């Protein structure tokens, strides 16, 4: 490189950086009252900072150095250290903080809306509008019998009240005799045997009452109520009253035992909230009626209560129930019915590939219906009922959608049922020395029987699918339990995926398909619209598609 070229390069560089080639200095004002001065002398650049005469400076060397760095940084844009430290990719396992997936959630919602909108258009183009209010076979006899049973079912709670009223009176007499003896009020051996004998009689009376209640209503629904919707509502009511009556009997049994053993400190071991209405003052018809309407299956003499009823809140929740019920009916009639009907010939011919395809298609519809039903029941209806009854504890569910195992799901999605079985089945068995597995087996066995009654009786087909669906939860819970206990995110992710796959694909769609097939095999149709083209205009397009 010759001297002329070197001179030109130095001049260009100095000009670009604001340094004059003749060795003169160049000043820059940073806008904060401080002027940075850069000078070149003998081929070396020096800098200094001089304050304005009318500005106040702090004389800090750190401030001066910071201003100099800022000045040079604004000039030398191409030398910034972009890679100054080691950093992992945000989606890698080495990341210190988990990234937010809010954008992916929004994308998922958009994809679901667009995908289902396409299915809506395709469904209407293929089948037409299948919604037909007059096509459903709501028989007059079904409605009349359903209403009659609705008012008869709570009578078994009144019978339970009468049984407990007699037991409470006998407990008062026994307590009075113990006090008249003077000295200790602990029961003698004879009195203890008398209590056990009384409890056996009370237990038998309650058992006959609740068993007859459930058996009679199940018989009437199975043989005399044709429409599955009316039958399901009636059977649900009967099972709820059966569970509440059993809870009423078990709870008052323990309260009566503590009432007759005051010296041993058993009264002090009772929950503090029970002191507001101690036994036997809780044995009143008003107390029982409140329990009947309270959104819980577990009986307590006293519940936490709110001060007032927010009627606007009630109207909003009931509006949600109405809208979601209409939505469920629309989705079931317009989308689920064609899928189920088109599956019948595949089941008859045992076309397994087509059956799997039908299950996958039905899984989306059943999941939407189930989620809407969950929100309508646990969020809207139970909150509205709790508001009307001033029931303050409204923890009806927990974030079950984040379940890391099947066991966590069953503990969080339906807390009223979970609390019931834990209190009246699992905990008593554990306290009597039974193992965790045996107690869990008892819980899921009873639950499986109730699920079969709930599904099989209204559809007039006790085929055992609902029973097996619940009973087989035990091995799935055992399989996913280690995933819940793992500390790494991989185990929890795998557990959550296992829960969703087993629930949305292998569970509900299969059960719905089997019971629908059993119904069709027995009756040929669930409504006039599915009976034939001559019955309902909407069936013409369905039958010919």
| Buried b / exposed e along 254-268 (16+ C-beta atoms within 10 A) | ebbbbbbbbeeeebe
Q: In sequence order, what DSSP letters do the residues of 38-71 get, joined into one string?
A: EEEETTEEEEEEEE-TTS-----HHHHHHHHHHH
> Which residue, among 517, 463, 513, has the nearest Cα to 358 in the 3D structure?
513
Catalytic residue among 206, 227, 424, 451: 451
Convert 253-320 into a string of H (helix), E (strand) and C (coil): HHHHHHHCCCCCCCCCCCCHHHHHCCCCCCCCHHHHHHHHHCCCCCCCCCCCECCCCCHHHHHHHHHH
The answer to whether residues 259 and 175 touch, using CB atoms and an 8 Å cutoff, is yes
Q: Measuring CA to CA, how many Å separate 365 from each of 219, 402, 491, 508, 509?
A: 31, 21, 29, 10, 9
- Mention every residue, 6+ apart, whose C-beta is less than 8 A from residue 194: 174
What's the token pair of residue 403? 């379940």
- Residue 356 token pair: 């799997």
Q: Is 227 a catalytic site residue?
A: no
**What are the structure tokens assigned to 374, written together?**
């969950």
CB 297 within 8 A of CB 416: yes
Q: How far apart are CA 260 and CA 258, in angstroms?
A: 5
Q: In this structure, what token pair is assigned to residue 74? A: 């604004």
Q: Is 29 helix (H, G, I), strand (E, B) or coil?
A: strand
Largest Cα–Cα distance in the chain? 127
Helix (H/G/I), strand (E/B), else coil: 411: helix
Q: Which residue has the tokens 């199940």?
A: 218
Looking at the annotation, which residues are catalytic? Answer: 451
């Amino acid at each position: 490189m010759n001297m002329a070229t070197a001179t030109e390069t130095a001049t260009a560089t100095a000009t670009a950086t604001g340094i004059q080639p003749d060795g003169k200095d160049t000043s820059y004002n940073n806008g904060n009252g401080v002027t940075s001065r850069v000078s070149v002398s003998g081929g070396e650049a020096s800098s200094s900072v001089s304050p304005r005469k009318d500005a106040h400076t702090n004389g800090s060397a750190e401030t001066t150095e910071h201003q100099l760095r800022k000045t040079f940084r604004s000039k030398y844009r191409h030398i910034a250290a972009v890679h100054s430290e080691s950093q992992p990719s945000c989606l890698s396992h080495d990341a210190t903080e988990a990234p937010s997936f809010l954008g992916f959630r929004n994308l998922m919602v958009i994809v679901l809306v667009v995908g289902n909108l396409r299915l809506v258009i395709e469904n209407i183009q293929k089948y037409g509008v299948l919604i037909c209010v007059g096509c459903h076979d709501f028989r007059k006899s079904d409605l009349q019998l359903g209403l009659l049973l609705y008012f008869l079912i709570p009578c078994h709670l009144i019978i339970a009240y009468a049984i407990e009223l007699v037991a409470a009176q006998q407990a008062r007499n026994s307590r009075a005799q113990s006090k008249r003896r003077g000295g200790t009020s602990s029961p003698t051996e004879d009195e203890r045997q008398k209590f056990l004998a009384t409890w056996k009689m009370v237990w038998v009376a309650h058992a006959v009452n609740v068993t007859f209640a459930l058996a009679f209503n199940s018989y009437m629904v199975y043989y005399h109520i044709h429409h599955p919707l009316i039958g399901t509502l009636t059977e649900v009511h009967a099972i709820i009253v059966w569970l509440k009556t059993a809870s009423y009997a078990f709870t008052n049994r323990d309260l009566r035992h503590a009432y007759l053993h005051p010296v041993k400190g058993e009264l002090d071991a009772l929950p503090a909230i029970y002191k507001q209405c101690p036994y036997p003052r809780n044995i009143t018809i008003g107390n029982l009626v409140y329990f009947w309407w309270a959104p819980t299956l577990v009986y307590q003499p006293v519940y936490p209560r709110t001060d007032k009823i927010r009627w606007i809140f009630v109207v909003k929740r009931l509006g949600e129930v109405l809208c979601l019920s209409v939505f469920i009916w629309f989705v079931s009639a317009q989308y689920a019915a064609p899928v189920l009907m088109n599956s019948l010939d595949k089941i008859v011919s045992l076309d397994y590939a087509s059956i799997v395809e039908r299950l996958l298609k039905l899984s989306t519809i059943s999941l939407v219906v189930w989620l809407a039903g969950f929100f309508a029941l646990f969020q809207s209806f139970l909150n509205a009922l709790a508001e009307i009854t001033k029931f303050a504890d409204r923890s009806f569910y927990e974030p079950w959608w984040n379940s890391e195992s099947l066991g966590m799901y069953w503990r969080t999605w339906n807390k009223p049922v979970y609390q019931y079985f834990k209190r009246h089945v699992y905990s008593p068995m554990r306290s009597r020395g039974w193992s965790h597995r045996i107690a869990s087996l008892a819980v899921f066995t009873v639950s499986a029987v109730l699920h079969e009654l709930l599904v099989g009786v209204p559809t007039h087909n006790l085929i055992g699918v609902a029973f097996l669906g619940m009973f087989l939860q035990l091995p799935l819970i055992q399989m996913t339990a280690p995933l819940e206990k793992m500390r790494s995110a991989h185990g929890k992710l795998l557990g959550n995926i296992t829960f969703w796959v087993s629930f949305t694909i292998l569970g509900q769609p299969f059960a719905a398909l089997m019971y629908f097939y059993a119904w069709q095999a027995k009756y040929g149709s669930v409504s006039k619209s599915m009976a034939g083209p001559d019955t309902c205009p909407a069936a013409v397009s369905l039958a010919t598609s």
